Structure 1
Amino acid sequence: MNERIRHLLPNDRMKIFQQEPFYEDTETVLTLLYQPLISMKGVAVFQALWKESRFQQPQTSISHHQMMNTLNITLDEFYEARKKLEAIGLLHSFKEEGTYRTLYYMLQKPFSAKGFFEDPMLSVLLEHHIGRDSFYRLKKRLLTPAQLPNNVQSVTHSFDDVFTTIYPENNPNPEQETKTKEEPLAIKTKLPLDWLHKMLKQQSINPKQVLTHSNIEYIEKLIKIYDVDDLELEKAIIWAVNEDQVFDRKEFQDMCKDIFYKKHGSVPPRLYSNNQTQAQAPSEEQTKNESSEEAEPKTKEEQLIQHFNTITHRELLEDLSASGKASVKEVDMITTMMEEHGLTQSVMNVLVDYVLKRNGNKLSKNYLETIAAHWSREGITNAKEAMQIAKREHHMYETWKKKKSQNQKKKQGSKEVLPKWFEEERQNKKASAAQPKQTSNEDVQKKREELEAFIKSYSKTKS
């Protein structure tokens, strides 16, 4: 509020100008594309200024108090919305001091839907704000071209069919035209272009092929979104240049994402006002805790935690790969999963390492997502917590596996099913074992009878 009082008061006058007509789809673009970035109040202020500019006379002005009443908002809310419009490129403000202060508001032309999605900075920010699925669904709705039947033929006349060429004496010098076209435009950028040129030459990469005007613009916008410094930029650019020395924008963005998540956790980059970031600055106690956590590791577990805290999942997969390269599909899958479930980079690293060890070095999407959803519900936020829950789950799995094998052995022992041939063989053995005993008994009885008969005959002869 103190800042607003120094720069804006209710009695300050305003004059609004629209320098060029807006696109036909401006209302749709403001509501669906700009609003998630600058809020509903930001769009409402822009639309109110736009409507007012149509009816305001050149020499007339209105007070900010009148605009506040029109929008039913406070002056602080108007000032915050105005700053967002200026930052996003929809408004330029100028001040004139006199007997009373006058603000001149120059409305800038919003992008068309096509231009918005082609702008790397705005499109990336919108995707992070509304989510990937909603982003692509919205893009499909707004950019679906008109489709003609397959059997139509073009009957459009070309320029040469309708017009003749101009006379030679009126034709400007073609050499002069080509010279003016070939003159390079001065590129305004904050990037260290000289250093980047040297770095690319050292890597045997043609810098002119990579550092084109459009690529420099793209790089500058993305490093602002993903908070990439110069050393990280070198790594990201080298990663994005393919074998044909072509700069792959998708690969560059993925690398910038990895850098951002490594530094700031799993929350994707979004637009925050400076007041919010100052209010959410960490306290002294938090910084002390963080510094104590970053002390030199002593045990193997601490070393492993530090390792997971200082790498990205791309680097983890590269370390585990024999070729030293990570699968692009796997990296994209992990990045998307990390964003959807809100897991930090270190937690995701532990999860990937755990799944690879448990699943024979295979990354199963369903298995990975099941554990990611579970850890997200458990509120796992750092590598130490992730390793603890991974150990606990592994121990539970091993215990369950052991009990299962024991139960199976008990069942096999109590209900042992023997084959039919084995039963028959056992019965035959019993019969053969019993048969000699029977024969021996019969022999004994026979001998006994013979002995009795002999005794009787002997006694008769004696008498």
Structure 2
Amino acid sequence: MEQHWKELLAIDRYTVKSSSVLQDLDRKILTLLYQPLLGSKCFSLYMTLWGELEQNRLWGEEMTHHSLMMIMQCNLREIYRERLKLEGLGLLKTYLSETSEFKRYVYELQAPLRPNEFFQDGVLNIYLYNRVGKNKFAQLKRFFSDQQIDHEMKDITRSFNEIFDSGQSVDMIARVNEETLADLSLADDRDYMQTTKRAEMDISDDVFDFELFFTGLSEAIIPKKAITPSVKDVIKKLSYLYGINAVDMKNVVMNSIDQDDIIDIELLRKSSRDWYQFQYGDTLPGLLDKTQPQHLQTTIEKKQRTKEEEMIYQLETISPRQFLTDVSGGRPPAVGDMQIIEEVMLQQRLEPGVVNVLIYYVMLKTDMKLTRAYVQKIAGHWTRKQITTVRAAMDLAKHEHRQYQQWAEEKATKKSTSAKKAPIRKEMLPSWLKEDDNDESTKDETKDKNEQLHIDQEQFELEKQKLFDRIKKYKDNKSNT
């Protein structure tokens, strides 16, 4: 993550604004639909900012971030991180002006999507389904829906012109002059209160290669006029959600065109789900398909990257599911391995890139095996240390590798208590895990042990390079598709 202190200090001011009047229904939507996706701290930040608005007003009073820290009992780093989550889900817009002494922010709260919009979103509803499960999801749908009017009943409501005399309207309009028009208009620096403006989850264009998508596109099969702005937005969301590249998306879109050469949005969503389930079985995308959030990735240009920085980039831009698939030579990962990683992501809430480092580290130290207890123990340590970036995970693994090796040896020792104790292999470490070792004990190592360590080091480097080559091959193939 960006260093939060470069972006935000406790003395910096902020004012809360709402894009529309927030209502009780919005509170229920945030609590039951958004909170499972955001987490309790992020939800608390939104509700705290909302609480600073007077009832049915759009602006709050100016405050310092120090006061927000006191109210939420959170440090500035946590507030900054949770703020970014709100921005990512479209629930908050942030505006900034700077002075020589401090920064001044305006936090504009966005009303959450209406229930019908949320449950038909195509992204948020899928994530919620995976987070809360089938039964709870069905319960939430029932909670946010109600009985329709009987279709057999006839609408007998009168129209405006049936009740009001048109002559009166003509007479009123005739008396309107420039002064009246000025009185009717609102000053440029004012906004009318409204309840219709809703959160919009913005997915940037770089998640989908539209240039490749349109390349070689046959007008006879998919007319370009059918790709309207709203269709493009849905394509971006579906590509991000299901991991569909530009080439595969052509076939998905092709199956969604009706007889009038119009793309049916609902059919497009269904075709995308069918594609995903054909690729990965009868499941819906969840945590394992996420990649490292953009704001937690490095920004070094490709030409300037070192070998270690290239590895960091690869771990940041691939999902844990694809990482497991890639190191298995393209074969789907074992169900047990996926369950272990999904448990870590759900319970420890580690970022996808950090989980990739965890997989990489554990596999290299345990002969390409994932052991639940060992993975969870390291993951718990990283969670307590609040590790959110790939580089930070690598640095901590380097600093703590002796402790992690001891954990692995203790586990191996326990397993061998009922059998003849087998020699424990001393796993070597990749370059980013090496550190200077000045312990006196290392000076007493025998020549034979050094030779064995050298052999293990060569074997380890071969395994490490094999993993790196698999990841790089996947990324190269993806970019050339």
Please, what TM-score do these two structures have when normalized by structure 2?
Answer: 0.48
> Which protein is richer in helix relative to its size?
1
- Which structure has the bigger radius of gyration? 1
